[in-house]
Chains A and B, each alone.
Chain A
Amino acid sequence: MINVELSNKIGKYTTFFCAILIITITMAIILVIAYKGLAIFTRDGVSLRNFFLTTKFNPDATPPEMGAATFIAGSVAVSLLALLFSAPFGIGLAIFMAEISRGWERKIMQPVIELFVGIPSVVYGWIGISVLVPFIRNNIGGMGFSLLAGGIVLAIMILPTIASVSTDSLRANPADIREGSLALGVTRWQTILMVMVPAAMPGILTSIVLALARAFGEALAVQMVIGNAIRMPTSLLAPMNTMTSIITMDMSGTVMGAVDNDVLWTLAFILLLISVVFILIIRTINRGRTAMR
């Protein structure tokens, strides 16, 4: 029988060790990606202007052409398009669940949202390729593989994020501001619009940022439906490319340390930086909020 005091100490240090381990793992991943991500500029001598502002991407050519503008623009375009499609529905659903539904509707919508989250991203990509792409090709135009297809698939994937986080935020509003507004004779819809939503705005903004982060980071579902053509996303119906999809397609064909490998790490580093920026934005949005409670 282990001495009780000793087990107390062991417990404390074991859990502390776990905490240190998680710090180590995270820092290792971030530092390695940063190191490899910067190699293209420091070791391979590609200029910042070349990388961010040119569109020709051919690592095999001599000299290697490293323009990543198409990927960055593509990621931004498809994520913003997805947000455009899904934010109204997500926030609307949140308002429905938090303000309008009476209980039984919420009991149905809650599992609905959880199921949306649960469907794996490959399945969304597969449905995109087997249903959405032919639909777009036959009824709207183009090859079907397009910015539009990517935007729609991503919109469905980020909808539950917006809905659930916004719902939580709306429900966290103190009840008295609603009661007060209604007592003053304001209608329910006006109360929602002018009181509840603004009060929950930090949470709603957080949900949008989280959804954007998810959209930027999605790889397989997007890669299956956008056609992977290296061009700027100028048209809704033309194929395009994103940072995640070029990483997915080219990574295994490159050797560690070679230029064509380094450029993919740089894209991964940019994705990392984007998610860090999003975390900081979320923290900034919510800084006043916790003080309020």
Chain B
Amino acid sequence: MIGSRNSERIATAIFYLIALLVSVLLAALIGYILYQGLSVINWHFLTAAPLPYQAGGGIGPEIFNSLMLLVLTMALTVPLGLGVGIYLSEYAREGRITRAIRICIESLASMPSIVIGIFGLMLFVVIFKWGFSVISGVMALTALNLPVMTRLAEDAIKNVSPDLREASLALGATQWQTITDVVLVAAIPGLVTGIILSAGRVFGEAAALLYTAGTTTSALNFTDLNPLSNNSPFYLLRPAETLAVHIWQVNSEGLNPDATQIANGASAVLVIMVLIFNLVSRWAGNWLFSKKTGQ
């Protein structure tokens, strides 16, 4: 029987090994993606339109679509999520409606994204006749992101010190004034960090968008900025393949001779964007926190 001293050392070594292996795995994955992809990335690749059957296409419209869908989704889910978060942390009493809300949030959060995608296909693409479009994609992403945003808002608000709240009420502010001018303001660092982090997830989403925003995009004409014009990049009813979907599509349709390079380059761009989102969320959170608390 190994002495407990030795088993202690062996155990510690094993755990360090596990941590090391996981770190090495991550470094290898990211290293591989960047190594394969960075040689493909240049200004042309990042701005040109995809060429469907020739080599030399780019991912410009896809990047734009990813960003546009992200912004629109956030515009919808941040207010809604905040609303529910405020309700749950400030107004709700333990009861049937509150329990129902929590169950709904958990259910929505655990739904596979492909299921939300086909629901979007049925409702927005076919029944509403919006077709494969920006707006169908935004609706699907909203359903996906809403539970995340709600949890975020609720946690951020709950983390605000109750003293602040009580002080504000003691000074005669109404509950709503307290919420908007004191609690939410204090919750901003946590909110911003969480929003930017969840933006990274939305940016990389593909399964929900495959059958809502579509697997194709038209070349974008930035001289026409009118959202109601067919030609504009802001036209909400145009098909809008995003970067993540493009990686899947390029591999699945296999028409491009340089599909491998495109997928590598697009993966690298995606990973870099996620890295940027992660870093920015940390810095923004820290900066805002230090501004609020003067530390």
Query: Does A149 reach chain B (CB closer than 8 Å)?
Result: no
* B159 on the A face (CB < 8 A): no
Partner-binding segment picked from B15-23, B49-57, B220-228, B284-292? B15-23
- Residues A244 and B114 in contact, CB atoms below 8 Å apart: yes
Given contacts A122-B206, A218-B112, A268-B115, contact A17 B267 (CB under 8 A): no
Residues of B with C-beta under 8 A to A129: 251
Q: Are B270 and A19 in contact (CB under 8 A)?
A: no
Q: In the complex, which residue of chain A has the Cβ closest to the Cβ of B203? A: A120
* Given A29-B108, A120-B205, A122-B244: A217 and B83 interface contact (C-beta under 8 Å): no
Whether A84 is near chain B, meaning CB under 8 Å from some CB there, is no
Residues of A within 8 A of B108 (CB): 22, 25-26, 29
CB < 8 Å neighbour of A7 from B23, B87, B176, B277: B176
Q: Does B189 contact A (CB under 8 A)?
A: no
Question: Given the complex, which residues of B lie within 8 Å of A187, measured CB to CB?
Answer: 4-5, 7-8
Bitwise interface map of B from 65 to 91 toward A, beta carbon under 8 Å scored 1, else 0: 000000000000001101110111011
Is there contact, CB below 8 Å, between B115 and A116?
no
Q: From A55-63, A65-73, A106-114, A136-144, give the one contacting chain B.
A: A106-114
Question: Does A38 reach chain B (CB closer than 8 Å)?
Answer: no
State which of A22, A36, A89, A217 has its C-beta within 8 Å of the C-beta of B18: A89
A71 to B257, CA, bound (A): 33
Separation in Å of the B28 CB from the closest CB of chain A?
10
The answer to whether B146 and A25 touch across the interface, beta carbons within 8 angstroms, is yes
Once the chains are docked, how many angstroms separate the CA of A219 from the CA of B112? 8
Q: Which of B1-39 contact A (CB under 8 A)?
A: 4-5, 7-8, 11-12, 14-16, 18-19, 21-23, 25-26, 29-30, 32-33
Q: Are A22 and B104 in contact (CB under 8 A)?
A: yes
State which residues 166-196 of B face A: CB under 8 Å: 174-177, 179-180
Whether A18 contacts B83 in the complex (CB less than 8 A), given A4-B174, A25-B108, A129-B251, comes out as: yes
Q: Are A112 and B88 in contact (CB under 8 A)?
A: no
A125 touches B248 (CB 8 A): yes
A14 with B114: in contact, given A118-B278, A125-B248, A126-B263 (CB under 8 Å)? no
| A-side contacts of B19, CB under 8 Å | 92-93, 96-97, 101, 105, 109
Interface residues of A in 16-35 (CB under 8 A from B): 16-19, 21-23, 25-27, 29-30, 32-33
Contacts of A95 in B (CB 8 A): 15
A109 partner residues in chain B, CB cutoff 8 A: 19, 22-23
Counting chain A CB atoms within 10 Å of each CB, the highest count among B25, B83, B90, B150 belongs to B83
Q: Tell yes or no: B217 within 8 A of A by CB.
A: no
Across the two chains, which residue of chain A brings its CB closest to B19?
A96
Q: Among B7, B121, B176, B205, which residue has its beta carbon within 8 angstroms of that of A251?
A: B121
**Counting CB contacts under 8 A, is A154 at the interface?**
no
On whether A96 and B16 interact (CB within 8 A), knowing A27-B104, A251-B211, A264-B118, the answer reads yes
Check if A156 sits within 8 Å of B25, measured CB to CB.
yes
Stretch from A233-241, A274-282, A284-292 contacting the other chain: A274-282
Q: Are B112 and A16 in contact (CB under 8 A)?
A: no
Closest to A252 in B: B211
The residue from A114, A130, A275 contacting B278, defined by CB atoms under 8 A apart: A114
Whether B118 lies near A251 (C-beta < 8 A) is yes
Is B271 part of the contact surface with A, judged by Cβ < 8 Å? yes
Distance between A292 CB and nearest chain B CB, rounded to angstroms: 20
8 Å CB interface, A196-219 against B? 213, 216-219
The docked-state distance in angstroms from the alpha carbon of A252 to that of B212 is 11
A176 at the interface (CB under 8 A from B): no
In Å, the complex CA distance between A95 and B11 comes to 11
Q: Are A100 and B15 in contact (CB under 8 A)?
A: yes
Query: Residues of B contacting A247 with CB < 8 Å?
Result: 114-115, 118
Q: Identify B105's interface contact among A22, A131, A156, A218, CB under 8 A.
A: A22
CA A8 to CA B181, docked complex, whole Å: 12
Give 17 new A-B contacts, CB below 8 A, not counting A122-B244, A217-B115, A279-B107: A8-B176, A10-B176, A19-B101, A26-B105, A29-B119, A97-B19, A101-B19, A105-B19, A111-B278, A119-B29, A120-B205, A122-B204, A123-B247, A123-B270, A127-B29, A187-B8, A219-B113
Which positions in B face A, CB cutoff 8 Å? 4-5, 7-8, 11-12, 14-16, 18-19, 21-23, 25-26, 29-30, 32-33, 79-80, 82-84, 86-88, 90-92, 97, 100-101, 104-108, 110-116, 118-119, 121-123, 126, 143, 146-147, 150, 174-177, 179-180, 197, 200-201, 203-207, 210-211, 244-245, 247-248, 251, 260, 263-264, 267, 270-271, 274-275, 277-278
CB pairs A–B below 8 angstroms (7 shown) = A8-B175, A19-B97, A27-B104, A109-B23, A114-B197, A120-B203, A122-B267
| Closest 8 A/B residue pairs (Cβ) | A120-B204, A217-B112, A18-B83, A11-B176, A26-B104, A219-B114, A15-B87, A189-B11
